[in-house]
Amino acid sequence: MSKPSDLLQGTLDLLILRTLALEPMHGWAIAARIEQTSREVLQITQGALYPALHRLEQQGWLRAKWRKTETGRDAKFYSLTAAGRTQLDKELAQWDRLSNAVGLVIRMAEE
């Protein structure tokens, strides 16, 4: 029963943190936002999303609060903590390095 995920290990965390950097959101909205922004390329399954949210919360990167949505329903909204913001910067920098490196290798292979 492997988790069907096209995402690189650890990338989901980065996506969640980046998405939440804009504004607090609930789980469904996070998934929807990621899918939308990636033009439906990245499909976030709930089986991966919620454990990741809980893990990030446990690690102190996120904080959760129950709030009303625009439609007036109770939902659990996640927001970035200060530590989460630092972590996001760190992970972004790492991602840049990684994607640059991958890019270099791919281009070299083309030449």
The residue type found at 99 is S
The nearer residue to other proteins, 66 or 106, going by C-beta atoms, is 66
Beta sheet of 25-26, edge-to-edge order: 25-26, 74-80, 62-68
Q: Is 45 in the site for other proteins (CB under 8 A)?
A: yes
| Per-residue mark of binding to other proteins, 49-88 (x: CB under 8 A) | -xxx-xx-xxxxx-x--x------xxxx----xxx-----
> C-alpha dihedral over 45, 26, 12, 80, to 10 degrees?
-170
Question: Residue 35 interacts with other proteins (CB under 8 A)?
Answer: no
Query: Cα separation of 91 and 39, whole Å?
Result: 22
Told to check if 9 binds other proteins by CB under 8 A, we report: no
Instruction: Report, in Å, the least distance between residue 46 CB and other proteins.
Output: 5
Q: Which residues pair with 78 in a beta bridge?
A: 25, 64
Contact 26, 75 (CB under 8 A): yes
Name the minimum Å distance from CB 27 to other proteins. Answer: 6
Can you give the binding site for other proteins, defined by CB under 8 A? 26-29, 32, 45-47, 50-52, 54-55, 57-61, 63, 66, 73-76, 81-83
